Amino acid sequence: MEPILKVDDINVYYGSIHAIKGVSFEVNKGEIVTLIGANGAGKSTTLNTISGLLHSKTGSVSFMGEDLAKVPSHKIVSKGLALVPEGRRIFLQMTVQENLEMGAYTCGTKTVDEDLGKVYAQFPRLKERYRQVAGTLSGGEQQMLAMGRALMSHPTLLMLDEPSMGLAPILVEQIFDIIQRLHQSGTTILLVEQNAQAALSVADRGYVLETGKVLTSGTGSELLASPVIKKAYLGG
Amino acid sequence: MTFLNFLIGGISLGSIYAIIALGYTMVYGIAKMLNFAHGDVIMVGAYICFYAISRFSLPPLVGVLLAMFVCTVLGMVVERLAYKPLRAAPSLAVLITAIGVSYFLQNAALLLWSSNPKVFPSVVGTGKVALFGGELTITHVTIVTIVSCVVIMLALTWFTGKTKMGKAMRACSEDKGAAQLMGINVNATISMTFAIGSGLAAIAGVLLCSAYPTLVPTTGSMPGIKAFTAAVFGGIGSIPGALLGGLLLGVIEIFAKAYISTQLSDAIVFAVLIVVLLVKPAGLLGKQIREKV
C-alpha cells in the first residue's frame, strides 16, 4: 500500500538544540498511527514540522506523493493535511462559529454552511454555544472546537497533538470515541499522545519516540504487549 | 455655548487622533510592534495632497485619493523592507527600526519638500454653519472630520466582524501559528494591515492639515505621539478603544487649553493617561485574556 504521508530522515533544530534526529515513518491510507513518547521526545516537533510551522534541515516530508518543502506553509492545509495543535490554540476572542469558519478558510464559501452542520452534528455541545466566545468554553469543549475546526478543511489526514491533555477521564474517553468515529468515516489519523495506553489501544500502528529518535515501532497490540514499552510508558 | 464650541472642537480633534490611533492599534494588534513611523506617513499623505491640489490643480477628492494610494503603497513598502526581515528579531530591534524609519521619512521630506512651511489648502472649503443665532459655529472641516471618523469606524467594524479577510486578521492577531494552520497567509495579512493603517493615515493627514493648515516635515510627529497615547489610553489592539481613546484625548486637550492653560495642555493630557494606566493597565477597553488550561 502506498503511504499517504512519508516522513523521511528529518532533522529539526531549535537554535542550536537538535530536537529531531533523523526521524522517519509512514502513515498509510485509512490507518490510525500513533507517536508516543515522554516529554521532550520530539512528538509535537514532528507534527509541527509536517504541518509547516517548523522546517527540517534535511530529508523530506511528502504527502500523497508531493514534497511539502515545495509547498508554502499556509497552503499545506488545502492539500488535505490538518493539525489539531497541542494546547488546542483555538482563537479565544472569536466565537465558536467564527473559529469553525476559520477552519474552512481555504474552502469556498458555498460548502461552509453544510460543513458547519456536519461538525455541529458531530459535536452538539458546540452547536448550543455557537455564538459564545471561545475563551469561555470549558477545556473539553475547547478540544472539541479545535477538532471541529480542523475537520472544516476536509482533511485526508488529521493530525492530533495530545488531544487528551488536561481532560477528565470521561472526556478523554469521549475524545477517543470521536477519533474512532472519524477513522470509521474514512479519515486517516496521526495521533500524538502521552497517554500511551489509550493511544495504542485505538491505533493500527505506533512509533515510540525517545530524545528525537524512533526507538521502536510496531502494531498497536505488539507495542502494548512489549515488555520494554510496558515498563517505560504503561506504568509496568 | 462656548462650552459646546469647545466640546465640538475636542471631538473634531479627537476624531483625527482616533483615525491615526487606528493605524497604531491595528498594526500593534497583528504585528505586536509599535510603528513609530506611522505619524510620518500622515505627513507624507498631507504633502502628496498639497502638491496634487496646489501645484497640479487637481480636484480635492482626487488629491485625497492620490494621497491614500501613495501612503498605502508606502506603508506596505516600509513593512516589506524594514519590518518583515525582523519578524523573528527581539521587539526592541523592531522598535528602534521604526524610530529609524520615522527619521528617514522626516529627512526625506526635508530634502524633497524643504523646511519652508506650506499653507495647506482646505479640501472642504472654509465654510461654516452657524447655529443658535451665530452663537455656535461649526466649520465644514469639523463636520467632515467627525463624519469621516464615524464612517471609518463603521467600515472597520464591519470589515473585521463580517468579512473573511477581516476575521483572518483577527485570527492572526491572536495566534499567528494557528492562523497559518488554518491556511491563512500571515505575511499577506500583516502587509494588508499596514496598507489599511497607512491609507487611513493619509486621510488623517488631510483632515489634520485642513484644520491646522501649516505643513512642515515634522507635522506628523506630535499628532502621531498623541494618537499613540490615545491608542494606549483606549487599550492598544482594540479598535473601539482607539475611537474612545482618541475622542477622550481630543476633548481633554481642548478643555485643558480652554479652561486651564494652553501651555500645560499636553502635560495634562499625559497626566490623565498615567492615571488611567495606573487604574487600568490594559487601557480603557483593553482585554486581559485569561486562558483556560
Amino acid B293: pLDDT: 41
Q: What is the largest CA-CA distance in chain A?
A: 52
Q: What is the pLDDT of residues B230-281, one digit of tens each?
A: 999 999 888 999 999 999 999 999 999 999 988 888 899 889 889 988 988 8
Per CB-CB distance under 8 Å, the chain A contacts of B170 are 91, 93-94
Residue B237: its chain A contacts at CB < 8 A? none
Written as nine digits, the cell of A68 is: 511539502
Question: Could you tell me which residues come within 8 angstroms of residue A103 by beta carbon, excluding any fewer than 6 positions away?
Answer: A82, A148, A149, A150, A151, A152, A153, B182
pTM of the model: 0.89
Do you know the residue count of chain B?
293
Instruction: Quote the CA–CA distance of B90 and B274 in Å, as a whole number.
Output: 26
Query: Which three cell numbers mark B248?
Result: 477622550
On whether the CB atoms of residues A60 and A233 are closer than 8 A, the answer is no
Q: Mark yes or no for CB contact B183/A91 under 8 Å.
A: no
Please tell me which residue, B202 or A165, carries the higher pLDDT value. Answer: B202
pLDDT in tens, A198-209: 899 899 999 999
Of B183, B185, B289, the CB nearest to A135: B289
Order the strands of the A213-219 sheet from edge to edge.
A81-84, A157-161, A188-193, A32-36, A205-210, A213-219
- Residue A91 contacts by C-beta under 8 Å, 6 or more apart in sequence? A98, A99, A102, A134, B170, B171, B174, B175, B178
- Segment A157-169 shows an average pLDDT of 90
- Give strand ranges (E) for chain B: 118-119, 128-131, 136-139, 214-215
Q: What is the CA radius of gyration of chain A?
A: 17
- Domain layout of chain B by residue ranges: 16-220
Q: What is the mean pLDDT of residues A46-65?
A: 92
Residue showing cell 455557537: A130
Grid cell 502494548 in the structure block, residue: A224
ipTM over 0.85: yes
* CA dihedral over A175, A179, A185, A187, signed as positive or negative: positive
Instruction: List chain B residues with CB under 8 Å of A75.
Output: 183
A1 band by pLDDT with thresholds 50, 70 and 90: low
Nearest CB to B183; choose among A139, A153, A166: A153
pLDDT score recorded for residue B132: 77
Q: Which residues of chain B have pLDDT under 70?
A: 288-293
The cell numbers describing B215, all together, are: 505643513
Strand, coil or helix: B213: coil
Helix (H, G, I), strand (E, B) or coil at A144: helix
Burial of B13 (0-12, 13-18, 19+ CB in 10 A): buried
